């Protein structure tokens, strides 16, 4: 049974679209059994528009961190929707955590502008933490073999990608 931890930002409307598309592609993939997206499992169902004061509180921070840590620990593979236009430190932490647990990481580089059409530098720590890299194609998750977990290089995404 393969459980996926689907990590992503969710601060803009297009992030929600990316998440929805990724969940659909992963659900359609016969080598995936469970998709865990932390945004679907918020502590006490709190959201950004919370009026109770719980969102952002120390209680919420501690429990959200613990819940996400538990989900990563029980997952087999991490899938990351990386918004290259707006880096998310939390996503990078999740990538580092899964790497420390020796879990494979599938990184999808996405942009809502033309950032990926020109030379793009990938930090060496991100490049080395990744097992497989996908350039702007969420639907590729539908056909990826999560039971064998093939690997590739950042440079396999195209000549514009440079590791620094």
pLDDT at 11: 86
pLDDT at 119: 82
pLDDT at 131: 97
pLDDT at 144: 98
pLDDT at 50: 79
Q: Which of the residues are catalytic?
A: 94
Per-residue pLDDT of the chain (164 residues; tens, 9 = 90+): 799 999 999 888 999 999 999 999 999 999 999 999 998 998 888 887 878 889 889 999 999 999 999 999 999 999 999 999 988 999 999 999 999 999 999 999 999 887 777 788 889 999 999 999 999 999 999 999 999 999 999 988 888 888 99
Write out the chain in H/E/C secondary structure.
CCEEEEEECCCCHHHHHHHHHHHHHHHHCCCCCEEECHHHCCHHHCCCCCCCCCCCCHHHHHHHHHHHHHHHHHCCEEEEEEECCCCCHHHHHHHHHHHHCCCCEEEEEECCCCHHHCCEEECHHHHHHCCEEEECCHHHHHCCCCCCCCCCCHHHHCCCEEEC
Residue with tokens 């990351």: 80
pLDDT at 7: 97
pLDDT at 65: 95
């Amino acid at each position: 049974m393969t459980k996926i931890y689907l990590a992503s930002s969710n601060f803009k409307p297009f992030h929600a679209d990316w998440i929805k598309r990724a969940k659909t592609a992963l659900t359609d993939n016969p080598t995936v059994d469970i998709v865990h997206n932390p945004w679907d499992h918020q502590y006490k169902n709190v959201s950004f528009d919370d009026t109770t004061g719980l969102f952002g509180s120390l209680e919420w921070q501690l429990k959200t961190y613990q819940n996400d840590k538990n989900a990563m620990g029980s997952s087999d593979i991490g899938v990351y929707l990386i918004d290259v236009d707006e880096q998310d430190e939390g996503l990078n932490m999740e990538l580092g955590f899964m790497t420390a647990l020796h879990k494979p990481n599938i990184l999808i580089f996405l942009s809502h502008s033309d950032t990926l059409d020109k030379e793009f530098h990938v930090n060496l720590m991100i490049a080395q933490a990744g097992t497989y890299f996908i350039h702007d194609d969420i639907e590729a998750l539908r056909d990826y073999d999560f039971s064998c977990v093939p690997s590739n290089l950042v440079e396999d995404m195209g000549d514009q990608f440079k590791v620094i």
